[in-house]
Amino acid sequence: MSKKAWLYLISFLTVIAILSWLVVISLPKPNLRVIACDVGQGDAILITKADLQILVDGGPGNKVISCLSRYMPFWDRTIEAVVSTHPDADHSTGLVQVFRNYSVTHFVTTEINRETDVYSTLKKEVGESKAQIHFVEKGERLIYGGIYFDVLHPGQIPPASETERASFKTNNYSIVMKMGYGDFDALLTGDIEDKVSDLIADTSNVNNLVYLKVPHHGSKNGLSQKLLDEVRPQVAVISLGKNSFGHPHEEVLKLLSNSDTKILRTDQIGDVVVETNGSTWWIK
């Protein structure tokens, strides 16, 4: 074999080896992962298990696409469920690009509406997709691949005109879900404020959970002492970026510190990845 032929063969085998390596490292992970994506001042939580992906909110821009690329196999272009907890731009803007770049099987939201350019664009993208739209209410249970999501809030949306709904404080109509997989459980809170935090503590079974997504980026009026005392989380995740709102508020950080909870912040460590096999859990 000539020297040139050897070079071609070596080059070919090298390419095959690199491609094989890329496939191996991209293979779906069998454990459940809860990934608070570093999307800046906003929320995007990716939940993965094997070839199943569930995305809760999309953050304020396009960074969520980079997060999906980091944790989904490059050949997998389907997200089984996308949840929009409420219409605010820091949670919904990134979902526009998600629908433009991925096939979404289920779109989960509420009937709360906000006539902004961003949310109108998102509704258009959802409408043009093949996603099944599911408006949820308190009391429903969603199940995907052995992972359950109990909807704890909101209840029935009160009747109102479009003008009245536009003035609603949408934070307090955020979808709140208790997620469970084996012995691992988590409370996903959207942007609820303290009065809804108290309501969740009083009316829902959220005692002694592993994981708490701290409401509203750690704002002063988000997490209540009552909810924290009920949940008693082992790990509390705050999703935020550089901001002028004073997030996370020192009082919230003090509450969490006094509860002996491990605090993880996306503005400090980037993506926050918690993994579990259903029995034990660990931070990646």
* pLDDT of 39 above 70: yes
* pLDDT of 240 above 60: yes
| Cβ-proximal residues to 66 (8 Å cutoff; 6+ apart), any chain | none
State mean pLDDT over 155-180: 75
pLDDT at 222: 96
pLDDT at 159: 58
Q: What would the pLDDT profile of 98-121 be if each residue is shown by its tens digit? A: 999 999 999 999 988 888 899 999
State mean pLDDT over 90-96: 98
The whole-model pTM stands at 0.89
The mean pLDDT value of the chain amounts to 91
State mean pLDDT over 62-71: 98
State mean pLDDT over 200-224: 97
pLDDT at 164: 46
Share of the chain above pLDDT 90, in %: 81
pLDDT band (50, 70, 90) for residue 169? confident
Domains along the chain?
Answer: 26-283 (3.60.15.10)
